[in-house]
Structure 1
Amino acid sequence: MACIVFTDLDGTLLNGETYAYAAALPTLAKLAALGIPVVPVTSKTRQEVAQLRQDVGLSDPFVVENGSAVYIPVDHSRFALPPGDDVDGYRVLQLGCNYVTARAGLKAIAQDLGRPLKGFGDWSVEQVVQLTGLSPSEAKQAKAREFTEPFMTPKNVPAEQLREAVEAMGFRVVIGDRFSHLIGAEAGKGNAVHQLVQLFQAQNPDAKTTATIGLGNSPNDLDMLENVDYPIVLPSAHGPHPQLADRGWPVAIAPAPEGWAMAVETALTQIAA
């Protein structure tokens, strides 16, 4: 059976504290040998993911900025490239809006709510370093937004009110504990998963079904986990995130990367059975 692994990065494939991933390498090598793609699905930018893919040794397409675009290496041979523009050796399948639109949207939503909403575009590299704990080079990559605007989650606005204001302006929002992400109406990790599954299946019409495994650790992974066949929750050292713990989904028996490797191995066994 054809299979695809969709995975978040920080706290899922990479350890949430140390960013270690060595324990996942044997499983990644096994997946490569089996011809099973491993697709990062993340809120990170293309610059951040391109660096990580190189470090970890991933070669498959990847999804950036909460499902706003899919980047497919142009030398990718698993399926025919969809129509789109080429950037830095990738074919871009854009699902969301562009960054200028997201910035303008955030200003309009702030005005509508009567609350200042500050995003990455308002902050210098130094301020992003202070707010996130990233290194200066990482902060620079994180600021290289192409489609979405992360902003400080307003403390005095109920989540429902924020969501309604965002949707009234024609956007979507992924609400997080510290930062929320303003994304285009058609963007979303779930939509990106469906687009990629269709591309893989179009190339392999004999594979009647493609089993999808999804791994995530936080509420911004919900859209992906709800749209795969085998959703798996990665816990932190303190256990699974409360918003993911009560879904009836399997929780990996250890944090990343050890838990990632064991959970993927278990899921492969279930699919093969």
Structure 2
Amino acid sequence: MPMSSMPMACIVFTDLDGTLLNGETYAYQAALPTLAQLTKRGIPVVPVTSKTRQEVAQLRQDVGLHDPFVVENGSAIYIPLDQDQFALPSGDDVDGYRVVQLGCNYVTARAGLKAIAQDLGRPLKGFGDWSIDQVVQLTGLSPAEAKQAKARDFTEPFMTPKNVPADQLREAVEAMGFRVVIGDRFSHLIGAEAGKGNAVQQLVKFFQTNNPEAQTIATIGLGNSPNDLDMLENVDYPIVLPGAHGAHPRLADRGWPIAPAPAPEGWAMAVENALTQIAA
């Protein structure tokens, strides 16, 4: 069924690396026709990512995205001032965006990491401890990308400690009044109220406010790694993007549909398939 026959409002929430962008090459060209269709139908595409505002701003420009976006694992929502699909709640305006801060600020996150390290009796090193060259070596980013990745406003990514069980790390973090998104190489220290799920819920409310005639708002969410779980659990149609070797084991066993191919081809096919289901 073509998109034009969709009877309800819809929002697409998507992770970026390995989801909309190919995990190895960062290619996105194969998704452009679907993105153009979504724009034509007035369906917002909202990036929900661990990336910083500087990183996402660059990507939005490259890919041609123009809707709100969520940065640093659900720590803040940036809503363009020149759009009318989402209500603008109170907040500060920065570079043409209304900023809705959900998490803590960066200074607080840095202080929190030091306190948690002391509590655990283990050194925890984060992006703020490393030079641009060191971030390049650790991540494989280019120097320009590493600079954007270090331009943090709300959260601190740190090397996941090998000798601390995940439960112990989580307990220490929560005792200090923070949350942690634990990853294979890097974990992210975030504010207690931050989170991709909270950000999704807020954006749906802002959309509802400006679209009172929409009786139903169907939400599609696409992600590829455990740090997307918080988003995928808060949408109507969660979709898992596989990597070159299949879907991440922690996402593969939840009964959620797995896209037929890695990003960006799989992203385009999965979105079109979900829209067909919604419209049916």
Determine if the TM-score, normalized by the shorter chain, exceeds 0.5: yes
In structure 2, the residue matched to 1:70 is 77
Q: Does 1:227 align with 2:227?
A: no
1:135 corresponds to 2:145: no
Aligned pair partner of 1:217 in 224, 228, 240: 224
So what's the TM-score if we normalise by structure 2?
0.97
What is the TM-score with the length of structure 1 in the denominator? Answer: 0.99
1:186 aligns with 2:193: yes
Task: Kindly provide the CA deviation profile for residues 21-61 of structure 1, in whole angstroms up to 9, marking residues without a partner as x.
Answer: 00000000000011000000000000000000000000000
SS in 2 for 1:71: strand
Distance in 1 (CA, whole Å) between partners of 2:210 and 2:80 is 16
Which amino acid in 2 is paired with 1:232?
A: I
Question: Out of 82, 89, 95, which is 1:82 matched to?
Answer: 89
1:111 pairs with one of 107, 113, 118? 118
**How far off its partner does 1:73 sit?**
0.8
- 1:253 is matched with 260
Q: Within 5 A, what are the aligned runs for 1:155-174? A: 155-174=162-181
Distance 1:118 1:254 in 2: 36
Pairs aligned (count)? 273
> Which among 208, 226, 229 is matched to residue 215 of structure 2?
208
Provide the identity percentage.
88
1:209 offset after TM fit, Å?
1.8
Distance 2:149 2:185 in 1: 15
CA offsets 1:200-242 (integer angstroms, 9 cap, x no match):
0011112122100000000000000000000000000100001
Question: Which residue does the alignment assign to 1:49?
Answer: 56
Which one-letter code corresponds to 2:215 in the other structure?
A: K
**Distance in 2 between residues matched to 1:235 and 1:80, nearest whole Å:** 34
Q: In 2, Cα distance between the equivalents of 1:33 and 1:199?
A: 21
Please tell me the residue identity of whatever aligns with 1:138: E
Distance 1:230 1:106 in 2: 35
CA shift digits 1:117-149 (9 cap, x unpaired)? 000000000000000000000000000000000
- In structure 2, stretches of 5+ residues that fail to align are 1-7
Q: Which runs of 4+ in 1 moved over 6 A?
A: none
Query: How far did 1:80 drift?
Result: 2.8
Greater CA drift, 74-83 or 193-202: 74-83
- Tell me the CA shift for residue 63 of structure 1: 0.1
**Residue 270 of structure 1 is aligned with which of 264, 277, 280?**
277
TM-fit CA distance, 1:79:
2.9
- Conservation of the 8 A alpha-carbon contact between 2:50 and 2:74: yes
Cα RMSD between the aligned structures? 0.5
Matched-pair contact (CA < 8 Å) for 2:84–2:210: no
Whether the 8 Å CA contact 2:197–2:233 is kept in 1: the answer is yes
